[in-house]
Structure 1
Amino acid sequence: MKRIWRHTVLSGLLAALAVGVFPTSAHAAQPAPSAPAAPAQQGKGPATFGVRPATAEKPDNRPNFSYSATPGAVIKDHLAVANISNDPLTLKIYASDAFNTPDGGYDLLDAGRKPTDVGAWAKIAVESVEVPGRTTKIVPFSITIPADATPGDHAGGVVAALVTEATGSDGQRVAVEQRVGSRFYLRISGDLKPKLAIEDLESKYRASLFGSGETTVTYTVRNVGNVRLGGKQKVTVETPWGSGTSAENLADLPELLPNNAVRITTTVKGVIPAGWLDSLVHIDPVAPPGPQPQAEAVDASVTVIAVPWLLVIILAVVLLLVLFLLWRRKRKRSRPGPVEPQPLPEVENAVA
């Protein structure tokens, strides 16, 4: 019997179910609320499906599942699973924890990884659901918050997944899981601490032989608080006399979940080689709507050597020329002058 491997394939969103639904994958996945779901194959035709918040009767207009609660509370809600294709589908339904991908995207743990946070607190009424073609089914679920749950934001999501089989390039049978989902945002009451930190700041200057060069600035932004935060970024490179050049078209910081981080790299162009340069990073945190303490701005800086090669070459040429002239002058002084002929001494002839 051939070994079966499980892969998770990223699927987009249904245009009809765009609001609040996100693709999930083991790889980086940015929220794409207007992208159509990639079709899968089950039965005779392509399968397209989605999941979104709902009441007990029908889907509603909430962008996601967002709650505020106290430790020990129980939340009850519903989700809508829609089959937009013509053939019936059997879909797995499960909840999981969220995390930020390396580029700051929002994603959920793979199906094989056990959740430990809000994904573990959520209990879906069924593990799978059969949805006829062109039909939406409502599925109830609950979230039981532990009595010792920590204050702040907890993030996860509910997933509808379709598992199909295919044959890999090596001839082995492959189980392909295609999934879409909707986000859980849960805020537990208590001491809220919105805070970002800048870590591992690095700066490298790349000079050109003539004129200005560019500085590459790389840093990690980490959410060290307990509230999800985005941010407005500014990166500036300053000379010793205070003039500065800022990075152009620097994107806003993606929303970071607590205990998550993203690595940022940007290039500041048109920087003159002033001997040494200060690379400055400034971030103004942006919190989600709702009452909470104001997060303080964060700053970090690092100094990089920027050698003015043109000036160095000119000074080296001048120095070599001066040294050559001094050597030539010294050599000229050390040469012996012409020897003047001395008169011969007079000799008296003695007469015997």
Structure 2
Amino acid sequence: MRPLARLLALLLFLFAVTAVAQATVGVDPVARLYTATPGQTITQVLNIYNPNPSEQKLRVVAYLTDMNVSEIGETEFPPAGTVKESSAAWTTFTPAEIELGGEETKQVRYTIQVPADATPGTHWAMLMFEAQEPAAIPGKTLASFRLRVAHTIYVNVQPTKADGSITGIFDSLPQNETGNYQIAVQYTNTGNAVTGVKGRVELRDADGNLAATLPLSLVVALPNRTVLLKSAWGGPVPKGQYSALVILNNGDKNKDILGEHVVTLPFDLKPPATTADPESNGANSAPSGPAKTGGKP
């Protein structure tokens, strides 16, 4: 597995849900990943805080939801118990409602009771904290706000196994000389554990010379689901045919996951113009479809 701190930092970016408003509410820590055995009990204390110096108090209501991520990286929060890997039914918390003054912090405690017959693999739930303006009066207040932040709970019930493969490579050619070549790699998590996946694309010309290395940033891959890792290549780049070698790693230090794709640029790519239309970079052109993929070395 990747270092826990890096994975949780990514979870903060992907799964902490907020709404724009004049006030905010925070939770610390934003995510936890536990290793457990069937029948084990886990307890965690969260700090819920209002960082604003305002004298106005915030009413914060806590509740559980599930979480799912689509193939294109869109995060959804269906009702608790919807996702088959949900741990919401295992989780209780107290208090269910708090009130926070300016720059005030209070604690919420939750307990996870892992069932004796729990299925091995990663189970998860989201403990949401929704802040509301206490002064809002239904039917009378013209405008009020609600915002929420999530604490992500992952429980790895042993034994777990990280496994996966590249199941597609898609690309989009630039529509003009100042556009970007865009590539997306589809990774399918075939293991039973949540993993962090990252990598790179090595582009080589017809002579085998390394033309560019495109980073594929770390993403979270849920069990039995796919994710897309994306990157782009801009000018100056000569036209011609290139070979793209995709190299991914899901935390296994002993082996990488490989895939191959052929790239054909129809014209020379120039450096992007500073006044270029953002729609002109080829992002809206149709992908070419899945490419040949390789296995693990």
The counterpart of 1:94, out of the listed 59, 63, 81, is 63
Which of 179, 200, 223 is matched with 2:168 structurally?
A: 200
1:157 Cα deviation after fit? 3.1
- Percent identity over the alignment is 23
Aligned to 1:152: 121
1:65 and 2:65 correspond: no
- Per-residue CA deviation, residues 189-247 of structure 1 (Å, 9 max, x unaligned), is 11x221232222124555989xxx97432322232323333344221333444334224
Alignment map for 1:256-335 (pairs within 5 Å): 256-268=221-233, 269=235, 272-274=238-240, 276-286=241-251, 294=253, 296-305=255-264
Q: Is the 8 A contact 1:229 1:256 kept in 2?
A: yes
Match of 1:245 in 2: 211
Q: Is residue 230 from structure 1 mapped to residue 196 from structure 2 by the alignment?
A: yes
1:51 counterpart (11, 15, 27)? 27
Answering whether residue 182 of structure 2 is matched by residue 216 of structure 1, we say yes
Query: Which has more radius of gyration?
Result: 1
AA aligned opposite 1:280? L
Runs of 5+ unmatched residues, structure 1:
1-19, 41-46, 54-62, 287-292, 310-352
- Provide closer, same or farther for how the CA distance between residues 23 and 229 of structure 1 changes in structure 2, counting only shifts above 3 A: closer
Query: Which 4+ stretches in 1 moved above 6 angstroms?
Result: 20-24, 172-175
Letter in 2 for 1:158: L
TM-score, normalised by the number of residues in structure 2: 0.64
Partner of 1:79: 46
Shift of 1:149: 2.6
CA contact (8 A) 2:200 2:248 kept: yes
Corresponding residue number in structure 2 for 1:121: 90
Structure 1 equivalent of residue 273 of structure 2: none
Paired AA for residue 184 in structure 2? T
Counterpart residue identity of residue 259, structure 1: N
Tell me, what secondary structure is at the counterpart of 1:120? helix
What amino acid is the match of 2:260?
A: S
Number of equivalent positions = 252
Give the distance between the partners of 2:146 and 2:137, measured in 1 at CA.
Answer: 11
C-alpha distance in 1 between matches for 2:165 and 2:192: 13
Q: 2:261 aligns to what SS in structure 1?
A: strand
User: Per the alignment, do residues 173 and 201 of structure 1 end up closer, same or farther by CA in structure 2, a change over 3 Å counting?
Assistant: farther
Give me the whole-angstrom Cα distance separating, in 1, the residues matched to 2:189 and 2:39: 26
Amino acid at match of 2:25: F
Cα distance, 1:178 vs. partner?
Answer: 0.5
CA distance, structure 2, for counterparts of residue 179 and residue 215 of structure 1: 37
Determine helix, strand or coil for the equivalent of 1:252: strand
What is the distance in 1 between the residues matched to 2:95 and 2:45?
12
Q: Is 1:177 the equivalent of 2:143?
A: no
Distance 2:132 2:81 in 1: 19
| Unaligned segments of structure 2, at least 5 residues | 1-7, 269-297
Note if contact 1:21-1:51 (Cα within 8 Å) is conserved in structure 2.
no
Offset at residue 161 of structure 1 (A): 0.6
Deviation of the 1:150 alpha carbon: 2.8
Verify the 8 A CA contact 2:19 2:146 in the aligned structure 1.
no
Write the distance in 2 (CA, Å) between the matches of 1:140 and 1:68: 19
**Alpha-carbon distance, 1:49 to partner:** 2.9
Does structure 2 retain, via aligned residues, the 8 Å contact 1:69–1:186? yes
- Tell me: CA distance 1:239–1:207, structure 2 relative to 1, closer, same or farther (3 Å): farther
